[in-house]
Amino acid sequence: MRLYLDSADLSNLLPLLETGVFYGVTTNPLVLRESRVPLSSLGNFAKAVLAQGAKEVYFQTWGEKPQELLERGRKLAHLDERVVVKLPATREGLSAAAGLHKEGIKICITAVYTPFQVLLASAVGAAYVAPYLGRINDSGRDGYAIVSKMAQALAHTKSSTEILAASIRSSADLVTLAQDGIRCITFPTRIAERLFAEPMTLEATQAFEQAAQEVAK
Ligand code: G3P
């Protein structure tokens, strides 16, 4: 299971990464803007999260033309070999992704909403494809069924492209996705914090500690 933190807020990210539970960090321009992280500091951001144990860090390229997306994606990839470059599932994004893949750069096709888009991601050699579960559900469709269909399509074509489910709105989403074999999921740090706060576990642990203190005397 690879759990990722979808955030650019180091004050929240670093303590969570220190637990060793989380595989990586994903960002996009919205997440960077929310935490006021300038593009000029992505190198230091990558250093900080990788030093704290992240094995991958995702940065999304930008631009209207494939060449812009490709050149900026190449620069992002060169920040560290553990950087994964995100590109939108548009004609331009997929075209730039095909070029970056040829250069040996790890890519993730993002902003995916429909099953056929995972086939396009697989066709350009994407390591990951990121369906936006929450936003698919927001649109009134059954996001779980759609992501499940995506997973089946990739599995049955023996694709090496992995689903990295995104736009997660609750810890329940993680289990529903895992039941369909989705093993890469990225979610906000507020959801990550809740994973360690199961009240009955905390209560039981407090009782263990109390008892241990007593028998340790
Ligand atoms: O990684 C995509 C994620 O940041 C979007 O999440 O909840 O804004 O749809 P959300």
Pocket test for ligand 1, best of 3, 4, 5, 6 (most atoms within 8 A of CB): 6
**Atom of ligand 1 lying closest to residue 31 CA:** 4
Q: What CATH number is associated with residue 39?
A: 3.20.20.70
**Long-range Cβ pairs for the range 59-65 (8 Å, 24+):** 59/27, 59/83, 59/84, 59/85, 59/86, 60/27, 60/28, 60/29, 60/85, 60/86, 60/87, 60/88, 60/110, 61/85, 61/86, 61/87, 61/96, 62/29, 63/92, 64/92, 65/92
- The predicted pLDDT at position 40 comes to 96
Q: How confident is the model at residue 214 (pLDDT cuts 50, 70, 90)?
A: very high
The predicted model scores a pTM of 0.96
With 90 as the cut, is the pLDDT of residue 57 above it? yes
pLDDT > 90 in the chain, percent: 100
Summarised one tens digit per residue, pLDDT across range 140-174 is 999 999 999 999 999 999 999 999 999 999 999 99
Pocket test for ligand 1, best of 25, 87, 113, 135 (most atoms within 8 A of CB): 135
Q: Please compute the mean of the pLDDT values over residues 11-34 and round it to a whole number.
A: 98
Give the domain extent around 160.
2-215
Cβ–ligand 1 distance for 28 under 6 Å, the answer yes
Cβ–ligand 1 distance for 127 under 6 Å, the answer no
- The predicted pLDDT at position 166 comes to 98
- Report yes or no: 79 and 73 within 8 Å, Cβ to Cβ: no
Catalytic residues: 86
Q: Which residues contact 53 (CB under 8 A, 6 or more apart)?
A: 17, 18, 20, 22
With 90 as the cut, is the pLDDT of residue 217 above it? no
Pick the residue whose CA is nearest to atom 10 on ligand 1: 167
Number of separate domains in the chain: 1
Give the Å distance between the CA of 135 and the centre of ligand 1: 8
CA distances from 105 to 24, 28, 35, 167 (A): 17, 18, 26, 24
With 90 as the cut, is the pLDDT of residue 86 above it? yes
Cβ–ligand 1 distance for 167 under 6 Å, the answer yes
Pick the residue whose CA is nearest to atom 1 on ligand 1: 166
- Report yes or no: 153 and 119 within 8 Å, Cβ to Cβ: yes
- Report yes or no: 38 and 77 within 8 Å, Cβ to Cβ: no
- Report yes or no: 89 and 121 within 8 Å, Cβ to Cβ: yes
